[in-house]
Amino acid sequence: MNFVEPIRDPGKIEDMKRLLLQQSKRNYFLFVMGINTGLRISDLLPLQVRDVKGKSHLLINEKKTKKRKKFKLNAGLREEISRYVTGKDADEYLFASTKRPQPITRTRSYQIINGTAAKLGLTEIGCHTMRKTFGYFFYKRTRDIATLQMIFNHSHPQITLRYIGINQDLMDEAVDRFSL
């Protein structure tokens, strides 16, 4: 498994959204949902319209931890959901495959995200990039590592800081200021 980074530049996030929307509404919505919830790709892909339509919270059983999770859907994401699910049946997958009656695979979602990022010159990008991007910006805006640690279900704040790339940012900044 490759190590991936968050997307730290808000402009690049907007560029990703624009390129993904040019590909398809599904690809765009996958990215938007991922960066606004911080859910693992294994928890995003099986979601159906009924799981999100008209809801204020997302209720899932996390595939990795087997724990029940209740996550608030922010107002902006609820608007995106409302637009995206219009005309869809309740039992449709949000990220349906065009080739079979199932959601896209983890491999296909990686190809979508990584391939689009490559067009923008971004490297070290994968499915976990969406989760890490959520965490990175949540922390940058709130400085609330305890809440982010709970959202990610990490056992220690240092794990969360390392996971979202803050430790690397701090080391980079320290070295930039250091000179002999």
pLDDT, tens digit, 9 for 90 and up, residues 36-67: 999 999 999 999 999 999 999 999 999 998 88
Residue 71 φ/ψ, nearest 5 degrees = -130, 130
Domains and CATH numbers, the chain: 10-127 (1.10.443.10)
In the chain, what is the greatest distance between 2 CA atoms, to the nearest angstrom? 64
What percent of the chain shows pLDDT beyond 90?
Answer: 83
CB burial readout 135-151, b (16+ within 10 A) else e: bbbbbeeeeebeebbeb
Average pLDDT over residues 125-148: 96
Q: How far apart are CA 169 and CA 16, in angstroms?
A: 22
Q: Tabulate helix, strand, coil % of the chain (nearest 5).
A: 55, 10, 35
The set of catalytic residues is 40, 64, 128, 131, 154, 163
Q: For residue 69, what are the β-bridge partners?
A: 60
